[in-house]
Structure 1
């Protein structure tokens, strides 16, 4: 998860702010001691907690916590004695707790272990605690957003994809077709620049840019702050275009009703298998840029089968914002959701 590597901390900016916000998820604790001999016993205290993410097709992410029984001591940690002067804690973990070979070629897989990820110098137990703290706070804020959207009958959609999938182009074409009959608004997420928000505003639809700085995803607090500035009308459609990233946005509920995964045919049909958490969390996949299929070696059926393997209930619509193919089906889906 991004909080373990520090990219969730740092500066973020929402258009209209007169100051920057610094969010630090986690704390560094230091202790100093003089030059002396000492023993370090790196046994973790207490039980480790396993988090299972369960994605439901109403936009919710539910985290279930389970106690984890530690492995035998010899596979977890070791004592050592050394002599030096320092101001840091030691957190060591043997290799088998962080990764294990994948397949006969002995590839490294750092997705194993209680946290399902790896960060140098941070124990699995510490990463789990960080994730629990961050997600619990975010989910509370997301539920607040969802209640507000529900009260105003606002359909909020979280658009997620890799960079370069054509998400913004697809969104601008969608807005041009909807703007005369449905009140729409857009929250644009990017690490830097207001380029995409400017493109959206050129359609006549209100948009606000959220720059996440080092952050690789939007969170519920950012969406809350942005919607306050947009002053959304009742019975409207809110598109939240997330930062281009198929990893961390899967875990962060924004209060949306649906996640919409956009996958372009230029990316390869195995994307749903490489990033299963995102496609498991999405309710619909827009297979974009299908006008390029004659020029590519892309297997549409295999791509859809891969998405269904990860998420049997995912809907798939093939679209092209450039030539307009599939846009009617996409708009029909939106209108169905507005009436739901």
Structure 2
């Protein structure tokens, strides 16, 4: 798929998001925007997700960081096309940044595009990248207060993943409390608990992606 960027599209965030969305829909590419605070395990989750899906799907990644391409190198080592965006201090990705990377991809050959956003529980929630789904990852060492303290992020997210559940015996995190907090803020949101490190609960997450992809291809 040939992608042509128009100057005026890149001057307006909403136009850029719509432009991106049209491209994704035309190519039937499922796009998932992954968000979390720093250290919640986005990249590790993405690595394990790629390993579980790469035999069945063609996967690509847009990797967002303030600086360095360390995470991008980890993902490229898995044989996945990964384009780095460094914001040089910016606390989120926006649709214009994403649009500028899209000419580097052949979306017609990509089944699933993951966008790994900047580590932050505030800024990324307010920016539409044209994605199909927003997924936020919360790790159990961060504590039970994060969902009620950062309600905007969780209100605007389709799925909340609680990561690092292998550490539950060593911290005070309460899964039932987290589930209830999310239900109070966003009753329609999905909720999954897993450990990207040990693999516990990963099958449920992988099945969620597969179901989302099937819905995308039927559109």
TM over 0.5: yes
Taking the aligned partners of 1:172 and 1:226, their CA distance within structure 2 comes to 21
Which digits, 9 at most, give the CA deviation of each residue in 1:26-77, with x for residues without a partner? Answer: xxxxxxxxxxxxxxxxxxxxxxxxxxxxxxxxxxxxxxxxxxxxxxxxxxxx
Q: Note if 1:334 corresponds to 2:209.
A: yes
SS at match of 2:108: coil
Structure-1 residue corresponding to 2:199: 324
Structure-1 residue corresponding to 2:189: 314
Q: Which has the larger radius of gyration?
A: 1
Structure-2 residue corresponding to 1:144: 19
Structure-2 residue corresponding to 1:301: 176
Taking the aligned partners of 1:263 and 1:233, their CA distance within structure 2 comes to 32
Taking the aligned partners of 1:240 and 1:291, their CA distance within structure 2 comes to 25
Q: Note if 1:268 corresponds to 2:143.
A: yes
* Paired residue total: 205
Which digits, 9 at most, give the CA deviation of each residue in 1:66-111, with x for residues without a partner? Answer: xxxxxxxxxxxxxxxxxxxxxxxxxxxxxxxxxxxxxxxxxxxxxx
1:1-340 residue pairs with structure 2 within 5 A?
A: 137-234=12-109, 236-340=111-215
Taking the aligned partners of 2:104 and 2:110, their CA distance within structure 1 comes to 17
Q: Is the Cα–Cα contact under 8 Å of residues 190 and 212 in structure 1 kept in the other structure?
A: yes
Q: Is the Cα–Cα contact under 8 Å of residues 12 and 96 in structure 2 kept in the other structure?
A: no
Taking the aligned partners of 1:189 and 1:335, their CA distance within structure 2 comes to 24
SS at match of 2:130: coil
Taking the aligned partners of 1:231 and 1:215, their CA distance within structure 2 comes to 27
Q: Is the Cα–Cα contact under 8 Å of residues 92 and 123 in structure 2 kept in the other structure?
A: yes
How much is the aligned-residue C-alpha RMSD, in angstroms? 1.1
The Cα of 1:310 is off from its aligned counterpart by 1.1
The Cα of 1:235 is off from its aligned counterpart by 5.5
SS at match of 1:331: helix
Q: Is the Cα–Cα contact under 8 Å of residues 139 and 252 in structure 1 kept in the other structure?
A: no
Taking the aligned partners of 1:207 and 1:232, their CA distance within structure 2 comes to 13
Taking the aligned partners of 1:194 and 1:238, their CA distance within structure 2 comes to 18
The Cα of 1:232 is off from its aligned counterpart by 2.6
Q: Is the Cα–Cα contact under 8 Å of residues 161 and 262 in structure 1 kept in the other structure?
A: yes
- What residue ranges of structure 2 are gaps of 5+ in the alignment? 1-10
Give 1 or 2: higher helix fraction.
Answer: 2
Kindly indicate whether structure 1 or structure 2 has the higher relative contact order, using CA contacts under 8 Å at least 6 residues apart. Answer: 2
Give 1 or 2: higher strand fraction.
Answer: 1
Dislocated runs of 4+, deviation >2 Å:
230-235
Which digits, 9 at most, give the CA deviation of each residue in 1:160-183, with x for residues without a partner? Answer: 000000110000010011111101
SS at match of 1:322: coil
- What residue ranges of structure 1 are gaps of 5+ in the alignment? 1-135
The Cα of 1:140 is off from its aligned counterpart by 1.3
Q: Is the Cα–Cα contact under 8 Å of residues 153 and 234 in structure 1 kept in the other structure?
A: no
The Cα of 1:230 is off from its aligned counterpart by 2.5
Structure-2 residue corresponding to 1:44: none
Q: Is the Cα–Cα contact under 8 Å of residues 207 and 230 in structure 1 kept in the other structure?
A: no
Taking the aligned partners of 1:271 and 1:161, their CA distance within structure 2 comes to 11
